[in-house]
Structure formats: C-alpha cells, structure tokens
Amino acid sequence: MVNNSHILTAAEMRMAEQSLIDAGVSVEQLMRIAGQGAAQHIWRIYCGLPTIVICGPGNNGGDGYVIAQWLLEKGVDVTVAASSNPQTEAARGAKSMWEGPTIGLDEAQPTQIFVDCLFGTGLSRSITRKLWDQFLRLAVAADKRVAVDLPSGVDADNGRPLNDIPPYDVTIALGAYKPAHDLCPAKNFVGDLLGVDIGIDCVSSVRVLDRPVIAAPRKSDHKYTRGLVCVLAGQMPGAARLTAKSAQMSGAGYVKIITNHAAPCADDSIVSQHYADLNQLASILEDSRISIVVVGPGLGRDQHAQKILEVALAAQKPLLLDADALVILGQGAISRVVQHTHDVMLTPHQGEFEKIYSGPDGSKIDRTKFLSEQMSATLVYKGADTVIGSDRGDVSVARQSSTWLSTAGTGDILAGVVAARYAATGNSYLSAQQAQWLHTRAARLAGASFSPEMLIDNLPKVIEECLV
C-alpha cells in the first residue's frame, strides 16, 4: 500500500518523484519498484491466469514491461501489446529487459486478465479513436481488468473521463493516491483500490478521510458539557426531528427542537421549545449554554423561513447551515457567512453547492477548498465522493460510500451528526470528518434499502467502534 493517506495531483506527484531522484534514486529504480509491486498484487489476486499487458509510450508503459517480466518469471502466460515504441529512456530500458513477445494492439487477442499500462497521470486530452477502439476491444473481452496507477482515459486531477472508460476490477495506485481515485465519475470505474509504496515521503493538504478516534464522556461531564444542540424547525418539521434524533444518537448531551409549530417531537427525551414570534426566537438563542444551532433541514423557502434564517445568522452562536438555508442564501452566502463571528459549517449536496458557488472551475476538491477558504468556514460537499474543506485549506476526501444513502432524510441525519460531534469537540473540521465517517459506516451496517430511522439506530454502534 502507498505509505500514507495523502492525495497528490499529477504535478505534485512529479515533484515528489523528482525529490527521490535528486536524493539519488534513479527513474529506472522507481520503475522497477512500482512495476514489481503492481505485479505482486496481480499475481496474488489472479493466481497466474493468462494475462495481456497494454503498454503505452511513456513511463506507465515502462511499468507494464516490468510487470510483464515479473509475471513471466512466475510462469504466467503473459503477452505485451504496445501502442508504440517506448519514448522515454527508462521505458526503453524496461522493454530491453522483457523476454517475452511484444505485438501491436491490432494483432493482440483478448486474454482473461487485462492490465492497463497505456497512459498514466500525465494524460490531459482524449486518446485517438483508432487507438481507443483497439484498446477497448481487448479490455471488454477480458474477464478481469486491472489499471496500473489510473485507468487510461481519465484526468488524474479531477476524475473526468477523457474517453468512454470501461469499469475496472482493480486499480493499483503507484506511490500515492491521485484525486481521480476518489472523485466521481472516475471513482465509479476504479474498482478495488490497492497501492504500491515506492518510497515517496509526501505532504499534501488533501488526504483520504480516516476512521476517527472518539473519546467517551469524562466522569465529570453532564448534559451541558457534552453539548446542547438546537435545531430550528420550519415548514417540514419531520426533517428537523431527524436532525435532532441523529444529534442525540451521535453524542450530544442535550438536544432541542426550536419551533413555532404546536406538534411536539415524537421523542420525549428531545425537548420541543415553542416560540410565538421571531423576537422570542432570538431570545431563546441567547442561551449561553447552546453549543451549536442547526438551521436548514425542512426550513422551507418562504418569507417566514428567510426570517428564521436571519435570526439564526444574527445569533452569536456556532451555526450549521444545510438544505433550504443554503438555497435562501444563494450567491450571497459568502458575504453573510464571513460576517458571522463564530464557527460556521455548511453541508450542501451538489445542487445546493451550485447555488452558493461563484468561484473558478476545477475539481470537486479545488472548488471545495476555494469556497471553504473564502467563507472561513468548514464545508461538507456531499455526494458519492464527499469532500470536506476547512477554513485553513485542509481537505479530506471520503473514500467509503454507500449508494443506499441516496434517499430522502439522510442529509438531515448527517447535519445532526456533524452538530453533535461539534458539540463534543468544539472543532468544526474535526467534527465534519468524524460525522462523515460515522454516517457512511452506519449506512453500511444498516444494509440494503434502509429507512432514515434505521440509519440513526446504527449511529451508537459505529461510535463505539471508534472509542479509545
């Protein structure tokens, strides 16, 4: 496996490799380490089945020749199909060590295992139709497909396909993870992600989200020291109830729903505090014991909802803004958030993100980082490839996901988990990281086709997995 959880762009990867070269490690040595490491993964997984390795003209192709030679020496029936002659000195050296046959893609016949070493992280434009058709002919006919470093035809930095990419069973990252390993749509094609450590000692502001470490309450704790979470209800109080219940089940000491509706909360342990008018709401939010205020789930977008949001923004309390609150703010979100004197967290899905974003184009990582820094806030940009940005430019990318989370109510639950973890830690970025991991893990425990309530029921179990 690669030696840490840092994610490097193509340019950062070149710099990291150059640092090794400057320290005395040759390109040929790096190629040998990478290729042999990848070959060992292929050998262990596929037990010597007949293999074709597709080699391109660059160093990714050179890795392919190393892979093929290592497998050949293990007795594997392996063929190299090359798109052209190697164009780099290291790749030419790797080919010179290859003792098996090399044929053109148009001559090659499909085999059980297809290993893609056509193009690596440097690709920035689509592959020509003629070459790609030959590549696809061999890829789709294979029983299993392995991408070395990245699937060919993918932009390493943003995960966008440059060609019509087939799905892979395994992708073997070389040296470090790349954005495309974890960003959609490329994430949908990489299959199981493995890695090879080639000795890179890299530091990046972008990292894979790790399993959190959570401390149990201290013996001296009580409901207020563990945190009071207030959820502002709106037109759809059911959403606020989901947020409140998930906050309660994620470690908050005390949870309140603040509402002007007569209907009480279904759970007796969650207090429903009623207000008659907006002045009374503002007075309620002056309570010094409040750890965080959540506004947005089920809020609505009418004039009254806008006024509730204004009261929340005016309150001198940490805020979590979600759903309708983000839509109401729209393009004015940055100016309103930066004026707030306490921590702010935002949890948009893609549609809500587009409502509040007006920055430069780029990958999901780039856009998250830009907006969180502009707002001086923590941003959880939700989706199958959730990205979390801090006000200081740090970014976490969630590798694990569950397609069953694509159902109404699960976003309301995430808001509650973030709020509860903030109430416990007082750290907005840390709480967002913890909450995202817990939310996804709870979904995996809930199994297939779960209800939001079933998701909430699994939150205490996943917190217990993280206790120290």
Residue 218 falls within a domain, yes or no? no
Mention every residue, 6+ apart, whose C-beta is less than 8 A from residue 107: 81
Q: Is 100 exposed, middle or buried (0-12, 13-18, 19+ CB in 10 A)?
A: middle
Cα three-residue angle 339-343-345, rounded to 5 degrees? 100
Same-domain pairing of 267 and 357: yes
Tokens coding 223: 């409901």
Both 200 and 232 in one domain: the answer is no
CATH number at residue 76: 3.40.50.10260
pTM over 0.75? The answer is yes
CATH number for the domain spanning 260: value is: 3.40.1190.20
Identify each DSSP E strand in 112-240 by its residue range: 113-117, 144-148, 170-174, 192-196, 206-208, 228-232
When divided into structural domains, the chain yields a total of 2
Tell me what pLDDT residue 333 has: 94
Whether residue 192 sits in one domain with residue 241: no
CA dihedral 346, 347, 351, 354 (to 10 degrees): 30
Whether 281 and 171 map to the same domain: the answer is: no
Same-domain pairing of 460 and 330: yes
**Does one domain contain both 102 and 243?**
no
Mean pLDDT in each 10-residue stretch from start to end of the chain (468 residues)? 83 93 96 98 97 97 98 98 97 97 96 96 89 97 98 96 96 97 96 95 91 95 96 96 97 96 71 95 97 98 97 96 98 93 97 96 97 97 97 96 94 98 98 98 96 97 96
Tokens matching residue 286: 């002056």
Instruction: Decide if 327 is inside a domain.
Output: yes
Between CA 75 and CA 61 the distance in angstroms is: 21
Classify residue 22: in a domain, yes or no: yes
Class of residue 47 by CB neighbours under 10 A (exposed 0-12, middle 13-18, buried 19+):
exposed
Q: Judge if 195 and 233 occupy the same domain.
A: no
Domain closes at, from 171, 204, 237: 204
Q: Give me the half-sphere count of Cα atoms (radius 13 Å) on the Cβ side of residue 256.
A: 21
| Residue 214 belongs to a domain | no
Instruction: Give the structural domain span for 71.
Output: 10-204
Cβ atoms of 432 and 388 within 8 Å: the answer is yes
Whether residues 335 and 250 share a domain: the answer is: yes
Q: Quickly count: other Cβ atoms within 10 Å of residue 399's Cβ.
A: 18
Q: Under DSSP, is residue 27 helix (H, G, I), strand (E, B) or coil?
A: helix
Q: Is there a domain that residue 217 lies in?
A: no
**Same domain, residue pair 181 and 234:** no
Within a domain: 266: yes
| 124 and 232 belong to one structural domain | no
Q: From CA 17, how far away is CA 30, in angstroms rounded?
A: 8
Instruction: Tell me which of 137, 169, 204 is where a domain ends.
Output: 204
Residues 286 and 367 in one domain: yes
Residues 176, 299: one domain?
no
**pLDDT score of 203:** 81
Predicted pLDDT at 305: 97
Q: In this structure, is residue 2 part of a structural domain?
A: no
Query: Within a domain: residue 247?
Result: yes
**pLDDT of res. 268:** 76
Q: What is the pLDDT of residue 122?
A: 81
In this structure, the dihedral spanned by the alpha carbons of residues 395, 436, 377 and 247, taken in order and rounded to 10 degrees, is -160
